[in-house]
A = this chain, B = another copy of it.
């Protein structure tokens, strides 16, 4: 599913629920889905100010909350200083976080199947159902490894 398809389907859901498609909302959705990395709220807001000089941080927060509900964005809760978001792959997937430079890299989807199986097994052992998960790996990125 590409970005414009996702935007379209999301807009449809917005309408269904009696929500409005404001220019700000469209811009936030767009920024999230198009962003290649893992932006913070501040980052998104700063970026959005270019096209909407009066856009408030609160609006960004509110819209992101809505998108989380809709499963259109993944919230990454590490970073210790503000959440980061992933609008491109909203389903949970592992992230690699460099403890030196702070870079965040997605893990490829190669091992997804094996990982899912393992997580299901873990949950099952304890009698839990599994809804979603979070997996973050911390270490040094290739650059910082070289530098050390």
Residues of A at the B interface (CB closer than 8 Å) are: 77-78, 80, 94, 96, 98-99, 105, 107-108, 110-111, 114-115, 118-119, 121-123, 125-142, 145
Contacts and interface: CB of A to CB of B under 8 A. Distances in A.
A125 to B, nearest CB: 6
A96 B123 contact: yes
Copies in the complex: 2
8 contacts: A77-B78, A98-B128, A99-B131, A105-B126, A111-B121, A122-B137, A123-B137, A135-B136
A118 B138 CA distance: 14
A145 B119 contact: no
Nearest to A142: B127
